[in-house]
């Protein structure tokens, strides 16, 4: 059974944050979670080495497949991996990954393990135009890997090499345990370097297979907020390319963000500055206009989400229009052929087919029937200061502008509520209900003036 060891014990001081580095996010997902998810298809057990803020990390990552291993004192990468040796089987292939390298692809991991199955040891490298700060891959005259020299220990000739070590490797368990036991802190940092096992393997005539990663963004490490933003954009660019290849029209991939997953039908269009969070399903011919946020929602066929709208944990029917500047809050369902207009907020409500709430209204904790028309400025007064109450508006009802429906209250089928009414009791079917004070004019009134 193949095993993964993920190093996640570092303090991450350059992030300048109280949040552990591995719990910062790319694409709405923890850095560490990216690495765990990428490795799952290739290994049977995952060992995560934790140190600083270990309890916070374990609380955030809930996964029964993980074996948490504590590195109490941070003495280098080799020392970190040594902590997991009791959990490594001699005949397994051990995959060593880093929690701050979140964009590594599953396919790359599989290739690396396949090479290790053949040779016993495989190493992932990448070619960089600017390799400063990274350990260099040293090859012999035959092109075989000879050793790895860290930046701080490299001479001038070695610093010119642009093939760098990613630190990611796959190695047979028995070999890994053997070389880990031989590590010495013979370097300027006084640490146990995992990279030193490469030279030891070469001395034992172990053929180290190399895999050069095609994309440097796939193996980029994150040490500060600038690199975090670069990883975010690289991740979004990669997602956009995959989605467009699958048929999604994205008007400008550089202004697209998906922090989760999108399932979509044919001929869907996503305009600029749209953010998808969580899991979202789009039907056929869905159009998402600029500056919208869609989170954990389902949107039906031929529906148009107009600009600057927010939809969260909601279901939107087919042939429906939402927005602009609409807010659809959690646990809301909107039917087919309906219209939710500008500056309308709906929360925890069910709106049936062919109903219209065109502008400037708040609908909360409500059941809205079919063919209902709700005028401008209508408010369902659902909160009494302690509890929420439900408003029910039955099929065909017409609610005049600037009305307040004080819940709990039911508006009957085909009922009409006169504009400007405050309704505190049930309104019967097929009748006009209104509540207004008698209008009066005061003849001798004078407008106040400044003193």
What pLDDT sits at residue 315? Answer: 98
Mean pLDDT of 354-360: 97
Q: What is the crossing angle of helices 106-119 and 31-39, to 10°?
A: 50
Look up 389 and say whether it is catalytic.
no
Q: How far apart are CA 20 and CA 8, in angstroms?
A: 9
Q: Which is nearest to 300 in space by CA: 314, 289, 279?
A: 314
The answer to whether the beta carbons of residues 327 and 348 sit under 8 Å apart is no
Q: How far apart are CA 202 and CA 123, in angstroms?
A: 13
Q: How far apart are CA 384 and CA 391, in angstroms?
A: 13
Residue 355: which pLDDT band, with cuts at 50, 70 and 90? very high
The answer to whether the beta carbons of residues 138 and 148 sit under 8 Å apart is yes
| Structure tokens, 214 | 């095609």
Q: How far apart are CA 53 and CA 339, in angstroms?
A: 49
SS3 347: strand
SS3 98: strand
User: Does 189 have pLDDT greater than 80?
Assistant: no
What pLDDT sits at residue 117? Answer: 92
What pLDDT sits at residue 187? Answer: 74
The answer to whether the beta carbons of residues 268 and 249 sit under 8 Å apart is yes
A 10 A CB-CB count for 205 gives: 6
SS3 186: coil
DSSP per-residue string spanning 37-73: HHHTTT-SEEEEEEBTBHHHHHHH---TTEEEEE-SS
Which contiguous run of DSSP H or E holds residue 372? none
- Over the stretch 114-149, which tens digit does the pLDDT of each residue have? 999 999 999 999 999 889 888 899 998 888 898 888
Return the ∠ at Cα 38 (arms to 35 and 43), rounded to 5°.
105
- Over the stretch 205-258, which tens digit does the pLDDT of each residue have? 898 999 999 889 999 999 999 999 999 999 999 999 999 999 999 999 999 999
Residue 188: which pLDDT band, with cuts at 50, 70 and 90? confident
The answer to whether the beta carbons of residues 7 and 98 sit under 8 Å apart is yes
Block residue for tokens 């401008």: 376
What pLDDT sits at residue 134? Answer: 87
What pLDDT sits at residue 342? Answer: 97
- Over the stretch 6-33, which tens digit does the pLDDT of each residue have? 999 988 889 999 999 999 999 999 999 9
DSSP per-residue string spanning 190-237: ----TTHHHHHHHHTT---EEEE-S-GGGG----SHHHHHHHHHHHHH
What pLDDT sits at residue 330? Answer: 98
Q: How far apart are CA 338 and CA 305, in angstroms?
A: 12
CA atoms within 13 A on the CB side of 296: 8
Mean pLDDT of 365-369: 98
**CA 57 to chain CA centroid, nearest Å:** 17
Burial class of 217 by CB neighbour count within 10 A (0 to 12, 13 to 18, 19+):
middle
| Structure tokens, 271 | 């305009």
The answer to whether the beta carbons of residues 412 and 394 sit under 8 Å apart is yes
Q: How far apart are CA 105 and CA 39, in angstroms?
A: 9
What pLDDT sits at residue 393? Answer: 98
Top mean pLDDT of 156-165, 342-351, 440-449 is at: 342-351
Domains of the chain listed by start with CATH number: 3-219 (3.90.550.10), 246-347 (2.160.10.10), 362-451 (2.160.10.10)
Given the residues 24, 34, 79, 359, select the one marked as catalytic.
Answer: 359
Q: The whole model's pTM is what?
A: 0.88
- Over the stretch 254-273, which tens digit does the pLDDT of each residue have? 999 999 999 999 999 999 99
User: Does 152 have pLDDT greater than 90?
Assistant: no
What pLDDT sits at residue 73? Answer: 85
The answer to whether the beta carbons of residues 402 and 417 sit under 8 Å apart is no
User: Does 52 have pLDDT greater than 90?
Assistant: no
């Amino acid at each position: 059974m193949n095993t993964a060891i993920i190093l996640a014990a570092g303090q991450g001081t350059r992030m300048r944050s109280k949040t552990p580095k591995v719990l910062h996010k790319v694409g709405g997902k923890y850095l560490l979670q990216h690495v765990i998810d990428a490795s799952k298809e290739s290994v049977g057990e995952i060992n995560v080495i934790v140190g600083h803020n270990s309890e916070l990390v374990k609380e955030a990552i809930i996964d029964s497949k993980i074996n948490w291993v504590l590195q109490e004192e941070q003495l280098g990468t080799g020392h970190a991996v040594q902590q997991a040796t009791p959990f490594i089987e001699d005949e397994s292939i051990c995959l060593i990954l880093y929690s701050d390298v979140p964009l590594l692809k599953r396919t790359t991991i599989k290739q690396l393990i396949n090479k290790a199955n053949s040779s016993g040891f495989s190493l992932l490298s990448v070619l960089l135009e600017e390799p400063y700060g990274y350990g260099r891959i040293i090859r012999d005259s035959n092109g075989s890997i000879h050793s790895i020299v860290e930046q701080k220990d490299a001479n001038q000739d070695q610093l010119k090499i642009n093939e760098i070590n990613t630190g990611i490797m796959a190695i047979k368990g028995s070999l890994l345990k053997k070389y880990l036991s031989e590590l010495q802190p013979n370097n300027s940092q006084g640490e146990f370097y995992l990279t030193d096992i490469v030279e030891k393997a070469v001395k034992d005539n172990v053929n180290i297979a190399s895999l050069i990663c095609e994309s440097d963004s796939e193996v980029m490490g994150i040490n500060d907020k600038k690199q975090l933003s670069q990883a975010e954009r690289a991740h979004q660019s990669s997602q956009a390319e995959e989605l467009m290849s699958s048929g999604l029209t994205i008007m400008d991939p550089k202004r697209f963000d998906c922090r989760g997953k999108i399932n979509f039908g044919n001929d869907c269009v996503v305009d600029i500055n749209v953010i998808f969070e969580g899991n979202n399903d789009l039907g056929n011919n869905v159009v998402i206009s600029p500056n919208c946020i869609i989170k954990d929602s389902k949107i039906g066929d031929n529906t148009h989400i107009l600009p600057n709208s927010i939809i969260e944990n909601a279901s939107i029917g087919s042939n429906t229009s939402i927005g602009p500047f609409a807010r659809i809050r959690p646990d809301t369902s909107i039917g087919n052929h309906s219209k939710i207009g500008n500056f309308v907020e709906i929360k925890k409500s069910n709106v049936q087919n062919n109903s219209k709430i065109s502008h400037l209204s708040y609908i909360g904790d409500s059941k809205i029937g079919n063919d209902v028309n709700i005028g401008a400025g209508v408010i369902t007064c659902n909160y009494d200061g302690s509890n929420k109450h439900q408003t029910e508006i039955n099929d065909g009802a017409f609610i005049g502008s600037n009305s307040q429906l004080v819940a709990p209250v039911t508006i009957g089928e085909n009922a009409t509520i006169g504009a400007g009414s405050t309704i505190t009791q049930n309104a019967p079917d097929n009748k006009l209900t209104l509540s207004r004070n008698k209008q009066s004019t005061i003849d001798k009134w004078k407008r106040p003036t400044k003193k």
